Amino acid sequence: MADQTIICRCEDITREKLLQVIAEGCHTIDEIKRATRAGMGLCQGRNCRKLIAEELSRIYHIPVEEVLQPTFRAPVQAVSMGMLADAYKEGAGE
């Protein structure tokens, strides 16, 4: 049976999908994010980041300390495009 266990709840990414993109050559949390959107949802990776790091550690036989962490950027949580547009218009978002 394919592994339908959910790893990233926000974007509905299963372990099967995760293993597939790793087999296709994704080596890091950031690469997996770009290929699947895992970590790009509402919680911004708070739930799945650790689980993905554990999978990478297991597959590549490296300690989890050595799994490359993703780049952290603002905003830390989802914001509305309208709010950003207003800030830009007012010159607060340059």
Partner 1 sequence: MRETEILVIGGGPAGIRAAITAAELGAEVLLCERDGWLGGQLIKQTGKFFGREYAGQRGFEICADLLAKLHNTAKIDIWLDCPVLGIYEDGVVSCQKKDRLEKIKPQRMIIATGAAENFLAFAGNDLPGVISAGAAETLMHMSGVVPAQRALMVGAGNIGLTVSYQMIQSGVEVAAVIEAAPQIGGYLVHASKLARTGVPIKTGYTIQEAYGEGKVEGARIMRLDETWRPIPGSEEDIACDAICLAVGLNPLAELCWQAGCQMELIRELSGHVPLTDENLQTTIEGIYVAGDICGPEEATTAMAEGKLAGANAAASLGYDTEQAQAARLAALAELGELRAGPMSARIKTGLDKLREKGAAKHA
Cα–Cα distance measured from residue 46 to residue 44, given in angstroms and rounded to the nearest whole number: 6
Give the Cα separation of 64 and 29 in Å (integer): 12
**Is 6 one of the binding residues for partner 1 (CB under 8 A)?**
yes
Binding partner 1 by CB under 8 A: which of 44, 58, 60, 68?
44
**Residue span binding partner 1 (CB under 8 A) among the ranges 21-29, 31-39, 77-85:** 77-85
Which stretch of DSSP H or E encloses residue 91? none
Six-digit token string for 81: 């495009």
Q: End-to-end CA distance of the chain, in Å?
A: 51
Stretch that binds partner 1, among 23-31, 34-42, 80-88 (CB under 8 A): 80-88
Q: Which residues bind partner 1 (CB under 8 A)?
A: 3-7, 9, 12, 15, 44, 46-48, 50-51, 64-65, 69, 72-77, 79-80, 82-84, 86-87, 92-93
